[in-house]
Amino acid sequence: MRYHTLAFVLCFFVPPVVGQSSTPLRLGQRVWIRPSTTSGTLEAGVKGTVEGMTGDSLRIRPTPGAPAVSVEVGPRTRLFLFTGRKSSTNRGAFIGGGIGVLVGAIIGYVAGDDCSTNATLCFGSDVAAGTGAMGGGLVGAVGGAILGALSSHDTWARIGWNGAVHPVVAPSPRGLGLGVLLAF
């Protein structure tokens, strides 16, 4: 009896199915429709604002003032919803820091002394390369973070069909059966 109770309770904690959309598509939302090729890669597709919906197509206006186009949505089509713009600060800092480490290490290694003279203070090429890498990495990371903060990019979330998924508990020859009902 405990297992039946557990099965019944778990029916209400069903996670969303992969194809189920948690955000329904509405008029006026910005979308990106990308058909897939036979090899599985995605084409550039169409970006625009949803003007209308029918059973198998969306009416999209690519830019304000442009004529709306009708795009067929099928099983080989991927639909993305615009979620906003995101700053590239972290990415810029990472790329700038990496380039700065490389350039600083090379400059430090080339500029390092060979310590063959009677100088009281002498740094070898290895120490100069390490110091150059740290300094170059710091300068590159700060510069990259600034450039990344000034640039931003669109972010998109993939959505799918908005079918209904419901858990089902039904009597079976051995007690209760647990299943999932998909409505198209």
pLDDT digit string, tens, across residues 127-179: 888 888 999 999 999 999 999 888 888 888 888 744 334 456 667 777 777 66
Residue of 12, 13, 31, 35 lying closest to 21 (CA atoms): 31
Per mean pLDDT, which range of 8-17, 26-35, 102-111 is the poorest? 8-17
How many C-beta atoms surround the C-beta of residue 99 within 10 A?
16
Q: Tell which wins on pLDDT, 145 or 23.
A: 145
Which pLDDT value is given to residue 16?
47
Q: Which amino acid is at 53?
A: M
- pLDDT attached to residue 77: 79
- Best CA proximity match to 53, nearest among 72, 36, 74, 35: 72
Tokens of 119: 């100088």
Task: Report the alpha-carbon distance of residue 36 to residue 42 in Å, rounded.
Answer: 4
Question: CA-CA distance, 106 to 133, in Å (whole number)?
Answer: 8
Structure token digits, residue 107:
């400059």
Nearest to 32 by CA among 50, 48, 54: 48
Length of the chain in residues, anyone?
184
Closest residue by Cα to residue 148 from 87, 100, 86: 87
Calculate the average pLDDT of the chain: 76
Domains of the chain: 2-87+154-179 (2.30.30), 89-152 (no CATH)
Indicate the angle between helix axes 89-111 and 125-150, nearest 10 degrees: 160
What tens digit of pLDDT does each residue of 107-133 get?
888 887 766 666 666 777 888 888 889
Phi/psi region, residue 53 (left: phi>0; alpha: psi -120 to 50; beta: rest), is beta
| Distance of alpha carbon 123 from alpha carbon 127, whole angstroms | 6
Q: What is the pLDDT of residues 93-106, one digit of tens each?
A: 999 999 999 999 99
Contact 156, 80 (CB under 8 A): yes
Average pLDDT over residues 31-43: 79
pLDDT band at 23 (very low <50, low <70, confident <90, very high): low
Structure tokens at 82: 């615009």
